[in-house]
Amino acid sequence: MNIGQSDYDSTKIQKLEGLEGVRKRPDMYIGDTNERGLHHCVFEIVDNSIDEALAGYCKTIRVELHVDGSCSVEDDGRGIPVDIHEKYKIPALELVMTNLHAGGKFGKGAYQVSGGLHGVGAKCVNAVSEVFDVEVRRDGHVHYMKFAKGKTVEKLKIIGDSQKTGTRITFLPDAEIFLTTREFKYEILAKRLRELAFLNPGIQVTLNDERVEKSEVFRFDEGIRQFVSFLDRGKTILHGEPILIHGEAVADPDKPELKTTVDIALQYNDGYSDQIYAYANSICNVEGGTHLSGFRTALTRVINAYAKSSNMLKEKDPIISGDDVREGLTAVISVKVPDPRFEGQTKTKLSNGEMDGIVQKIVGDNLKYTFETDPALAKKIVDKCINAARAREAARKARETVRKGALSGGGLPGKLADCSEKDPSLCELFIVEGDSAGGSAKQGRNRKYQAILPLRGKVLNVEKARLDKMLNSDAIRTIITACGTGIGSSNDVGGFDANKCRYHKIIIMTDADVDGSHIQTLLLTFFFRQMKELIERGYIYVAQPPLYKIKRKRKERYVDNDDQLNEILLELGMEDMALVRARDEHVFDKNHVSEIVSIFSRLEQLGSGVVRNGCALPTYLDAHDIETRTLPRYMVRIRTGHTESFKFLRDEEDRAGFFLENNIDGGGFDGAISRDIELNGQIVRQRISAHEIYGAQQMCECLKKLEALGIDIATFAPTDQPRYFLSEIGPADAKKSERLEIFSGLEMVAKIRELGRKGLTIQRYKGLGEMNADQLAETTMDPEKRRLLQVTIADAAAAEATFSMLMGEDVEIRRAFIEDNALNALYLDI
């Protein structure tokens, strides 16, 4: 008998109830528990709103990022049903938020087309959130339910009346699940929301970030035509408007009412790279699928057929390949499929086999008709493809020539100081600007796994060069040889192969000045255009030298960023200082002072929403309940004529009562009315607006911690008499005239930072050129101490546009960018 076999019985078999399975294995449902999975949670909720839009019931979607780290998604759709489910005897809302595979998208009664399929999206977000609130406007009422970690916390209740319809979900990601980050990135969300607005013409999607007071509204009535124009901005296009292709098909003859819709927009520019984005039911399929393969096949076939039938393709010309027809192509493929099948919950690839044939036929018929009716357009496109084929052949010959020299028999470039380690996953390549910095890097490196490649002279701008011209550049050939990946199409013999990369960390290390930034941009352009897969695999990094060097007396420290500088200023401000409570001369424990200061800093951050809506933070904090130590969840701003006042509401019931009393519809994003009232015999304009304070709960926790540490939390407004002192020596011997007086707890942080700057020299650090080998190794190369910025492509469309704008031929758009952003630059190297 095997060891332990006797212990394996029915008691070892577990059945996870409710959403426990999601919490145990979240990666299965949201992709991962890092940045990608965090943002996928937002997209799951938004996709439900988009499904309402596809069904014709939703026109506006609003996504808000709050100061407490939570996110709200609201739509004006029908609202999730709240009636009691006949079979399960609980509200439908509770059923769909707490039970896997419960939803309205399995049959076709509620949704003919949808992106949500598996009945796991919103409830998975519920499972991985420490707070998950749902408001539903439906049937003349505002319904509310509260969940936490997948379980019901507050049962369904009516908290107000509203003639509007829709759903609002607010969730705070759970720190027990998302261990690496819980911070939503505006750019990642903006990219996806912009896509959704392009793919669903007429839908208005708003993104509002309360943390940095940034907001955008996305609405595109011309849909994917505008999407392609957006992707091609900054490029020189070969023809006028994008070509539009539209068609419908019935995949199952037994269900003629279930139609598949295909919409494609495509346009050619004079560039050398392609941008093709594929979507199914508004879901971005980053790995493509059958709709993408059908499009590619049809495009190549039609262009080849037209080139031959019009005698544009000569006998000596090479055959036009798929790579050739995609050179300079920008296309968006959007299909609406009644019964889509995806690979995995994150829906990265469409796998419906019938879609290949459907898209091939629709694209083939439409594109053939377009070419026949507009020969001038067809000629421009076919000429572009033939030139691409000729250039590909020339590049192949140039690559063969180079391979016989520097890329093969010649071995590694002479300037490369290689490492001894042979396992690529352990090896690092530093691409260093200039021979002098390269010399310091060689002295400071770890020879076992760190290789140094110094570059001298200007790196070629590959945005403006084809492969054959690129291979004439010494710097480019050196990089290709050092990396070992080859270059060119992966379909060609000897072409690019990411698996042959000799280093899994390629680190661009340049000076923090204008020249260094330019070289960094040129290198990133090369990797983005010619070795994009290395970026996608996470192999490309940018070294982050320290931003400041600070000095006080004989101590020197390197500082990476402004946040770290602020922390150090607080630390230095309390050096040799005592915090004293004025009313009883109590000296706070030195270890507790940093915690107190940190909590006050957090309070300021969480209270930024209160301040933004016109109320002083001390006024709001002083509205906390002395007994329960809780803060109001809602704040009402009342502006009457030239006067302003604030009213604080504890909870949803208080808000509902206030809305009812003031005849405000409780179903808006924030309740607000403007009206004329009589005041002192005169008619004046009054505006009332209600705002939810999303940081209220976390601010309550801060108050409790401060009280436990001995801070008086009865009042936060400044007083006439000092509340605390900062003293350089113990209170028993201190002269009171030498004490620094603090009149409120919130003043404390600013005062301590002020002290921290005394006697401190802060030098803005430009980087490599000012460092010797030891400093360079310590700050920028030592894996234990350095900071590396991994280059990713969160928004490929934005990256494409940025590289075209910065490095392309359009001077006017680049000049406009410089003029628009010149005043935003914090540091100029002039």
Q: Which residues participate in catalysis according to the annotation? A: 433, 511, 513, 515
Q: Where are the alpha helices (DSSP H) in 502-634?
A: 514-530, 532-536, 562-573, 590-606, 608-612, 617-621
Closest alpha carbon to 490 in 524, 522, 536: 536
In the beta sheet, which residues pair with residue 741? 725
CA distances from 374 to 369, 471, 608, 651 (A): 8, 38, 58, 64
Distance from the first to the final alpha carbon of the chain: 79
The Cα–Cα gap between 820 and 801 comes to: 16
Q: The tokens of 492 are what?
A: 């060609």
The Cα–Cα gap between 760 and 748 comes to: 20
CA distances from 642 to 550, 638, 679, 685 (A): 48, 11, 12, 9
The Cα–Cα gap between 533 and 9 comes to: 48
H or E segment and range at residue 284? strand 283-284
3-state helix/strand/coil string of 744-796: CHHHHHHHHHHHHCCCCEEEECCCHHHCCHHHHHHHHHCCCCCCEEECCCCCH
CA distances from 220 to 194, 200, 205, 223, 279 (A): 9, 8, 10, 5, 17
The Cα–Cα gap between 278 and 287 comes to: 9
Helices 796-807 + 186-199 axis angle, to 10: 100
The Cα–Cα gap between 550 and 562 comes to: 12
Length of the chain equals 830
Q: The tokens of 98 are what?
A: 């707490």
Q: Which residue has the tokens 């070294």?
A: 543
Q: The tokens of 44 are what?
A: 């799951």
If DSSP codes are grouped into helix, strand and coil, which group holds residue 265?
Answer: strand
Vertex 814: Cα angle to 811 and 816 (nearest 5): 110
Task: Give pairs for 776-779: CB < 8 Å, separation 24+.
Answer: 776/437, 776/440, 776/441, 776/444, 777/444, 777/445, 779/545, 779/546, 779/558
DSSP assignment letter at 420: S
Question: Would you say 579 and 587 are in contact if contact means Cβ atoms under 8 Å apart?
Answer: yes
Provide the CA 644 distance to its chain's centre, in angstroms. 38
